[in-house]
Amino acid sequence: MSEQFYDLFDLLEEDFEAEEFYQELPEYVREFIEDRADTIRNLDDLRRCADNFL
């Protein structure tokens, strides 16, 4: 299991791989993810959320 962070923004600040993945997503997907920032605590959560939208 991935390291846990407080929220999406903490994850992006601390995890280079997560930041890289996030920046490669289309802007509309990033906006969707940001609306759920408090539920995203690790890279797996981020990938799952993006997959649900794409």
pLDDT value of residue 24: 98
Burial of residue 18, with CB atoms counted within 10 A of its CB: 0-12 exposed, 13-18 middle, 19 or more buried: buried
pLDDT value of residue 1: 55
1-54: pLDDT as tens digits? 578 999 999 999 999 999 999 999 999 999 999 999 999 999 999 999 999 987
pLDDT value of residue 18: 98
Q: How far apart are CA 2 and CA 35, in angstroms?
A: 21
Secondary structure class of 13 (helix, strand, coil): helix
CA dihedral 46, 12, 38, 22 (to 10 degrees): -40
